[in-house]
């Protein structure tokens, strides 16, 4: 494969499955809190919805299993899932991700984090020495419409003060890819959570972050252009 040259001003990262290896913990939490309601979920059910607001995920889980879901149940489940996730989550990272972020920061690229995780949950999974490298952080608490809606990425572009063509997104889930493309941003996908066949809407797909780093050459775009 010929090396891909990307001339950009900013790199926008998803978090779960791109920087942190926390998707297994999200799955365990969702599975545990939904089972008492008679809702059984698979890895694909949860992983494919990564980046979506929890309230929407719950509605879809219940709808697909033909179960009744009330606003009270939604609020109870959101609270239960959040509390359980906090108890079981472990700080694990996608190989190469932290080193890559540091390299981008040292080479003066603007950095943004766009995640469906709520802002107050971030400190549990993302250490401060990584968090502080991002110029902009957009969480699920900051938007009305989460992924696959483009709102989170459009907000990041606005805060970065750049155009869509000056950025690239790194994602690992269909909703995130769809949101990035809807915002007009080129998207690179890594198959850390789902197989490549589920990531086809991305511009390029890589098996992991190490392969992405080997095959993509990031070039800082001149701010005058």
Please list the active-site residues.
14
Long-range contacts of 29-37 (CB under 8 A, 24+ apart): 29/81, 29/84, 29/85, 29/88, 30/57, 30/61, 30/81, 32/84, 33/77, 33/80, 33/81, 33/84, 34/61, 34/77, 37/62, 37/67, 37/73, 37/77
Q: What is the largest CA-CA distance in the chain?
A: 57
**What token pair was written down for 139?**
């969480």
Q: 146 with 115: CB under 8 angstroms?
A: no
CA distance 56 to 176: 15
């Amino acid at each position: 494969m010929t090396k891909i040259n990307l001339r950009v001003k900013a790199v926008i990262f998803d978090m779960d499955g791109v920087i942190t290896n926390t998707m297994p913990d999200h799955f365990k939490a969702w599975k545990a809190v939904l089972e008492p309601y008679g809702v059984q979920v698979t890895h694909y059910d949860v992983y494919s919805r990564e980046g979506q607001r929890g309230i929407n995920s719950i509605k879809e889980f219940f709808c697909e299993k033909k179960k009744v879901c009330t606003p009270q149940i939604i609020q109870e489940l959101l609270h239960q899932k959040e509390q359980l996730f906090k108890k079981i989550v472990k700080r694990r990272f996608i190989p190469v991700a932290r080193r890559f972020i540091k390299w981008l920061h040292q080479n003066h690229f603007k950095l943004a984090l766009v995640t469906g995780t709520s802002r107050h949950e971030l400190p549990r999974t993302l250490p401060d020495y990584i968090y502080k490298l991002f110029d902009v952080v957009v969480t699920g608490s900051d938007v009305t419409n989460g992924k696959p809606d483009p709102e989170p990425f459009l907000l990041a572009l606005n805060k970065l003060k750049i155009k869509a063509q000056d950025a690239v997104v790194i994602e690992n889930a269909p909703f995130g890819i769809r949101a990035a493309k809807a915002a007009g941003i080129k998207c690179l996908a890594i198959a850390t959570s789902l197989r490549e066949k589920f990531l086809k809407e991305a511009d390029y797909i890589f098996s992991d972050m190490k392969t992405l780093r080997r095959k993509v050459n990031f070039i800082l775009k001149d701010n005058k252009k």
